[in-house]
């Protein structure tokens, strides 16, 4: 049973885009520490390997879950690719404001009217912008397309550094599927990640009799209206988005293990986790109006991606994968505490019953301390992102037809 099944349909429609944005902010946490310890060039290589070893897996998972997988595996069209981007933590709605044009099944374009990632990186200077918008995007866009059609190529029309400085849209790209294109191939780490429990986890099927849309098999729309999905579909989407985060973190770990000793890998992973735990908790709590007390903290822990999906975490599969929860336990509760302290700095957590490496939600107790905890430096790093306070707006969901 999914822990998200306890939420109403309206709550889930609010939560799902929040989870997508939380997933995007993972790199605002992890990559900052990679730059500090390994330098900018190594950070770029890690980011490329991280996304290329995760996005093809979770993109296929979402295609299957929501019924828009191509009839012939690996022969999806541009609509298949664009639907995948709309449900990808690499492209959370509005924060990464993708606008799509479909010319025909094999030709399309997209532009970003707003790129939150660019807003975060642009103040750091043109070298960092080029690193993200050229060095990282070139291989990772094609890697994402592998999940739909290895003959797809994503190529820039224009992209940052912006000239002039206020150029809009922030970037624009073509997507072309052509049988003459060489097949895009996955990196070696992709096969390693594909063998994880997160990649192959079976989740409960969507109940097609539930009120609302049970899939995304219809036309591509300009902006997904999450409220149009059924409660059952939204529960599945929420669990899938959490698995996206775990797959991304697993790919991050694989990239680190190639470069770093075990102690450094552990330190960088924990720094990444504390940052995203705290900022993710802030956004989820604000979106759902969670109370700032012990009961609220327990609810927030139950909804946080660190401890979801329940079918992954509570079964021990997440521990076997070395997922986020495996980093936590009686001797190290910083990430769990960061979640509770997003509500009130006086709150803390204790883990008394779990052995190291076997923590579950029921093992975590929320307590109140007389003195407030200071904000953790890992959380402060992520709060630098404009995604921390980004506000979603209501939009009309319109079908996109070929032009």
**CA atoms of 325 and 333, how far apart (whole Å):** 10
Q: What angle do CA 134, 383, 241 make, to 5 degrees?
A: 65
Please check whether residue 364 lies inside any domain of the structure. Answer: yes
Q: Considering the chain, what percentage of its residues have pLDDT values greater than 70?
A: 99
Confidence of residue 356 (pLDDT cuts 50, 70, 90): low
Confidence of residue 360 (pLDDT cuts 50, 70, 90): confident
Q: What is the pLDDT of residue 402?
A: 87
- Pair 82, 176 in one domain: yes
**CA atoms of 280 and 304, how far apart (whole Å):** 8
Q: What is the chain's mean pLDDT, rounded?
A: 96
What is the residue range of 91's domain? 3-233
- Pair 311, 226 in one domain: no
Please check whether residue 120 lies inside any domain of the structure. Answer: yes
**Mean per-residue pLDDT, 220-240:** 98
Q: Is the pTM of this model over 0.95?
A: yes
Confidence of residue 262 (pLDDT cuts 50, 70, 90): very high
- Pair 211, 260 in one domain: no
- Pair 153, 284 in one domain: no
Q: What is the pLDDT of residue 146?
A: 83
Phi, psi (rounded to 5 degrees) for 99: -120, 130
Q: What is the pLDDT of residue 355?
A: 60
Please check whether residue 398 lies inside any domain of the structure. Answer: no
Please check whether residue 352 lies inside any domain of the structure. Answer: yes
3-state helix, strand, coil in the chain (%, to 5): 50, 10, 35
In the predicted structure, residue 318 carries a pLDDT above the cut 80? yes
- Pair 44, 172 in one domain: yes
**CA atoms of 232 and 1, how far apart (whole Å):** 12
**Mean per-residue pLDDT, 22-48:** 96
Total domains, the chain: 2
Whose tokens are 């908790």? That residue is: 281
Phi, psi (rounded to 5 degrees) for 42: -70, -35
pLDDT tens for each residue of 88-122: 999 999 999 999 999 999 999 999 999 999 999 99
Confidence of residue 359 (pLDDT cuts 50, 70, 90): confident
Best CA proximity match to 244, nearest among 4, 69, 14, 16:
16
Confidence of residue 143 (pLDDT cuts 50, 70, 90): confident
* CB of 173 closer than 8 Å to CB of 157: yes
Whose tokens are 């979106």? That residue is: 287
* CB of 44 closer than 8 Å to CB of 131: yes
pLDDT tens for each residue of 321-344: 999 999 999 999 999 999 999 999
Q: What is the pLDDT of residue 354?
A: 62
Best CA proximity match to 106, nearest among 147, 145, 77, 63:
77
Best CA proximity match to 282, nearest among 323, 364, 338:
338
């Amino acid at each position: 049973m999914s822990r998200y099944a306890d939420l109403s349909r309206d709550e889930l429609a609010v939560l799902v885009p929040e989870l997508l944005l939380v997933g995007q902010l993972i790199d605002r946490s992890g990559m900052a520490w990679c730059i500090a310890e390994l330098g900018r060039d190594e950070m770029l290589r890690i980011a490329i390997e991280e996304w290329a070893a995760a996005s093809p897996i979770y993109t296929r998972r979402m295609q299957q879950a929501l019924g828009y997988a191509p009839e012939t595996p690996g022969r999806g069209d541009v609509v298949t690719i664009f639907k995948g981007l709309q449900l990808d933590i690499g492209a959370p709605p509005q924060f990464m404001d993708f606008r799509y044009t479909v010319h025909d099944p094999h030709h399309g374009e997209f532009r970003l009217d707003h790129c939150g990632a660019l807003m975060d990186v642009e103040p750091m200077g043109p070298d960092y912008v080029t690193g993200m918008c050229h060095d990282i995007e070139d291989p990772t866009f094609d890697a994402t397309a592998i999940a739909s059609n290895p003959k797809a190529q994503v190529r820039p029309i224009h992209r940052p550094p912006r000239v002039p400085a206020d150029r809009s849209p922030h970037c624009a790209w073509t997507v072309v599927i052509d049988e003459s294109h060489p097949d895009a191939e996955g990196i070696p780490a992709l096969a390693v990640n594909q063998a994880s429990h997160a990649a192959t986890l079976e989740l409960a099927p969507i109940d097609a009799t539930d009120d609302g849309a049970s899939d995304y098999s219809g036309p591509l729309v300009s902006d997904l209206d999450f409220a149009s999905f059924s409660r059952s579909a939204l529960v599945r989407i929420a669990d899938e988005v959490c698995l996206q985060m775990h797959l991304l973190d697993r790919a991050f770990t694989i990239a680190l293990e190639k470069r770093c000793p075990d102690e450094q890998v552990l330190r960088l992973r924990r720094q990444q986790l504390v940052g995203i735990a705290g900022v993710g908790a802030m956004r989820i709590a604000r979106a759902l109006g969670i109370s700032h007390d012990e009961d609220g903290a327990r609810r927030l822990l139950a909804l946080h991606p660190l401890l979801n999906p329940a079918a992954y975490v509570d079964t021990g599969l997440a521990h076997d994968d070395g997922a986020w929860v495996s980093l936590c336990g009686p001797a190290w509760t910083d990430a769990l505490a960061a979640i509770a302290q997003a509500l009130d700095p006086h709150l803390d957590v204790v883990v008394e019953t779990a052995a190291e490496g076997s923590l579950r939600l029921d093992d975590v107790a929320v307590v109140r301390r007389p003195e407030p905890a200071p904000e953790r430096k890992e959380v402060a790093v992520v709060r630098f992102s404009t995604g921390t306070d980004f506000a979603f707006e209501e939009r009309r969901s319109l079908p996109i037809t070929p032009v």
